[in-house]
Amino acid sequence: MHQTSLLDDAPTARSVSVVGVAGSLSALNPAQKKFNQLIHRLIEQRQELARWRAFRQTYHEHLAEHYQPALARLRDKQILMARFLDQTMEGKSLSRPERIKVRDMLDHLLSSLLAQSQDPELVSLYDKYADRSFGDEQQEQLEVMRILVSEAFGVDVPSFEGDGSAEAMAAWLEDHVQTDRPQVRRRRRKPSAKTRVADSHRAQAAEGATRAVREVFRKLVSELHPDRELDPGEHARKTELMQRVNQAYEAGDLLALLELQLSIEQIDPAALAGLAEDRLRHYIHVLEGQSRRLRDELAELMEPFAMATGQSPGRKLSPESVKKALDNDLQEINDLVVCLEKDLERFRDVHLLKRSLREYEVNPLDEMDLTLFADPPTRRRKRSRRV
């Protein structure tokens, strides 16, 4: 079946009038160069955000259509293998050393399955072969988490009765840590003269930036207000433009406001070149804030993909690399499903099972050797060996 590419819907760059100060690079002063650089950066950030947003949609559709069903198939085959090994242990065909190995296999396999979902059948099967019950192990993990959280956050957590997972503990902390943690009042130091001057400059810059954006907004409103148009077509056009003006102003999007001015020929690159230096500095202040917000928004949007692919947040990530990682994981899952199906068929012959057990070594510190006990891929484990 043909699979739609995750990148098919990625948007291309939109053709727009580019805001910028006119003139050769050598002729521009530092503020004008900074202004043009910020405009260029903002346009690139916009395009990158649009690209990731489109990819996010198709990525989740691909997960639902292909990845999650593949994981479900793998889990079903692993459960069948656990049942098969349990039945084998019920018989008398295995020697004592072979039983020890199968028990170790079941421990690894059931631990993996129960980490995904605590199915009662699997819990019962785990208790059948484990030295301690699954419930006792969960309780011990919960106690360890309580101690660690108490020491880390300085709060008492005896009332937490979740399932012992990190997610449940995190949710509990979010609800309780702020109210239970004692508030420590810190004496504020009197700001130095240098700090007061810097704060004053920042406040003046912010005030000037606000006035600059408001002025651009007012000029656009004066030009585009639809109530002054009697022609129905022109009234509709200006109504749509005013909606865009209001949205840009509410978002503090100076670039969008300047683009609108450019599109209606209210300004041009030559006019920007003639801006007073203090006005240009105010524009730069606003654009720098926009760029920081877009950078943070992009980082927040990309973070789940970095976690899913096991990459550090600082490493360059692209929709192409995420797609490749997802395709590799999906292929690995499908390969494991095929291996499990073959193993379930092969091991009906107890001699083949015994032959495989001869190559299996009980060592809980090592990664599993058999493909039939491999976990769903998280990131870049060694590929399990076939037996």
| pLDDT of 57 over the 70 cut | yes
Q: How far is CA 284 from CA 209, 255, 340, in A?
A: 8, 11, 61
| pLDDT of 342 over the 70 cut | yes
Residues near 275 by Cβ (< 8 Å), separated by ≥ 6? 21, 283
Mean pLDDT, residues 324-329 taken together:
92
Q: What is the pLDDT of residue 337?
A: 96
Of the candidates 333, 343, 332, 263, the residue with the CA atom closest to the CA atom of residue 73: 333
Do 102 and 94 meet the contact criterion of CB atoms below 8 Å apart?
Answer: yes
| pLDDT of 381 over the 70 cut | no
User: What is the pLDDT confidence band of residue 145, given thresholds at 50, 70 and 90?
Assistant: confident
Write down the residue that tokens 């259509």 correspond to: 65
Of the candidates 36, 25, 24, 30, the residue with the CA atom closest to the CA atom of residue 272: 36
User: What is the pLDDT confidence band of residue 384, given thresholds at 50, 70 and 90?
Assistant: very low
Give the whole-angstrom CA distance, residue 376 versus residue 64. Answer: 16
| pLDDT of 382 over the 60 cut | no
Q: What is the pLDDT of residue 370?
A: 41
Residue 32, amino acid: Q
Give the whole-angstrom CA distance, residue 64 versus residue 67. Answer: 6
Ranking 13-27, 128-142, 274-288 by mean pLDDT, the lowest is: 13-27
- Mean pLDDT over each residue of the chain, to the nearest integer: 79
| pLDDT of 65 over the 70 cut | yes
Q: What is the pLDDT of residue 169?
A: 61
Q: Which long-range contacts (CB under 8 A, 24 or more apart) does 144-152 make?
A: 145/169, 149/173
Burial status of residue 216 (CB atoms within 10 A of its CB: 0-12, 13-18, 19 or more): buried
Instruction: Classify residue 215 by its DSSP letter.
Output: H
Give the whole-angstrom CA distance, residue 19 versus residue 294. Answer: 18
User: What is the pLDDT confidence band of residue 120, given thresholds at 50, 70 and 90?
Assistant: very high
pTM: 0.68
Of the candidates 49, 56, 53, 57, the residue with the CA atom closest to the CA atom of residue 294: 49
Give the whole-angstrom CA distance, residue 119 versus residue 122. Answer: 5
Mean pLDDT, residues 130-139 taken together:
86
